[in-house]
A and B are shown apart, each in its own frame.
Chain A
């Protein structure tokens, strides 16, 4: 089994948002998807929310004087219209940090950061609810997979050792053709169908939590 093909498939999966883990065994990988426990939509811990109200970080500057949002990329920290310092505020108008009483406390009076949603602020938290269904529970969905590259005309065989894998991905040498199966199911029905797509998401949708 060419390690290169395992790497190639691993990179393909990474490009689709999965995390890949490898063992000492060349053709064995663990595919992990950090996702919502209810609808299995991806969970992104790099995205932050407002600690106070849960609104997603807009990653923008705001000038209170001019009441406008601007990009955080490339521009100055001062508003080009009124020259006052811009802030990274919560996007939710009714958030407590945007109220008259607290706006300055959370966004302006602090020396070390540029507002409640700035990277250095202690008031942002990593994603806490699913952006697709609203659930607050997230888990790792992980499957242990063996990858087998078949030579021209080589037939599928599954050994008793293969039964410990959740899935096996068969692929053909130098071809983008894949057949994914649960080893125990294949031993019973012996049905195989190679397609030109690596349908990993389908594999995860089939998993019960």
Chain B
């Protein structure tokens, strides 16, 4: 059984040989092969999806700690004899080169599903380090450390680049704005997302993640194009966000869908057709247009 993770699996080539334009395939393969080495089943996308790999393994159903990070149960648990269950993790890989001991990366809002099994995965190819955080842990890290302000209205803009994951060279440790990321690194990172009850309590975690997103994403702190807004204007916009979005329930959201469909149906047929082309793959919504 392999007891080191990750290992330099492609012994004939150095990561430095690849540049931004041609490293995606090799780095994702590197991550996939490393997970195979520690006995995860690895699935790679056959079509273009937002997830780079899905990994699964059999673990003890009674106590997750009974199954080691590099172990896959083929029968009952050796510690307690209980049967095994399959756990799944959905991994999105971002490979970044360390520059001046810093890793920069960007996520967009589409990366923040409310599935706790989604893993945001950073691979520092030049130092051979993996950082893996479930969406829940990632958001919680920012929330608990009062870094929530780093999340508002910065998505899709260059300002969203996060340049604060830093390696300390004297003790080879990693931290984000001074808070340690060691528990998300390499073996500890895998243990951290493997030894969790996410699979058993999906809906509960999903709700918690949505609450964290609401608290962090929807506190209006304007970015550069809007930096001239006055405090009063910011307060007024925040109040509207609260009433128009945050304080809505399921039925109110459905009213928004109805508003959208009715207004779209009131437009000229050609204009409507051009707009709803973007929704073709969204069958339930697409089916509601008169065209």
Contact = CB atoms under 8 A, between A and B. Distances in A.
Contact of B156 (A120, A138, A139): A120
B43 interface: yes
A136 interface: yes
Interface size class of B (residues with CB under 8 A): 35 or more
A139 B113 contact: yes
B126 interface: no
Interface stretch (B61-69, B137-145, B278-286): B278-286
A136 B285 CA distance: 16
Interface stretch (B1-9, B163-171, B186-194, B223-231): B223-231
A137 to B, nearest CB: 4
A interface: dominant SS: loop
12 contacts: A45-B110, A71-B274, A96-B240, A122-B153, A122-B156, A130-B253, A134-B251, A136-B114, A137-B203, A139-B113, A140-B90, A142-B88
Contacts of B252: 134
A47 B278 contact: yes
Interface string B104-142: 000011101111011000000000000000000000000
A134 B54 contact: no
B45 A19 contact: yes
B146 interface: no
A126 B108 contact: yes
A138 B155 contact: no
Interface in B75-122: 86, 88, 90, 108-110, 112-115, 117-118
Interface of A: 10, 14, 17, 19-23, 29-30, 32, 34, 37, 41-47, 51-60, 69-73, 91-92, 94-96, 101-102, 105-106, 110, 112, 120-126, 129-140, 142, 144, 164, 209
Contacts of A60: 271, 274-275
Contacts of B267: 69
Interface string B199-223: 0001100110010000001000001
Contacts of A69: 267, 271
A122 B46 contact: no
**9 shortest interchain CB distances as A-B pairs:** A134-B250, A21-B43, A126-B110, A71-B274, A134-B253, A45-B110, A96-B240, A137-B206, A53-B244
A32 B49 CA distance: 10
Interface string B31-56: 00000000001111111011101101
B54 A55 contact: no
Nearest to A125: B109
A21 to B, nearest CB: 3
Nearest to B41: A23
A91 B43 contact: no
Interface string B237-248: 100110011001
Contacts of A106: 226
A71 B275 contact: yes
Contacts of A209: 202-203
B203 A121 contact: no
B226 to A, nearest CB: 7
Nearest to B245: A54
Q: Which of B46, B56, B153, B281 has the most CB of A within 10 A?
A: B46
B287 to A, nearest CB: 11
Nearest to B117: A140
Nearest to B112: A126
Contacts of A92: 256, 259
B107 to A, nearest CB: 11
Given A91-B263, A139-B114, A140-B117, A37 B245 contact: no
Given A56-B260, A91-B263, A140-B51, 16 more contacts: A21-B46, A23-B43, A30-B56, A32-B90, A52-B237, A53-B240, A55-B260, A58-B263, A70-B271, A96-B240, A121-B156, A126-B109, A133-B254, A139-B206, A140-B90, A209-B202
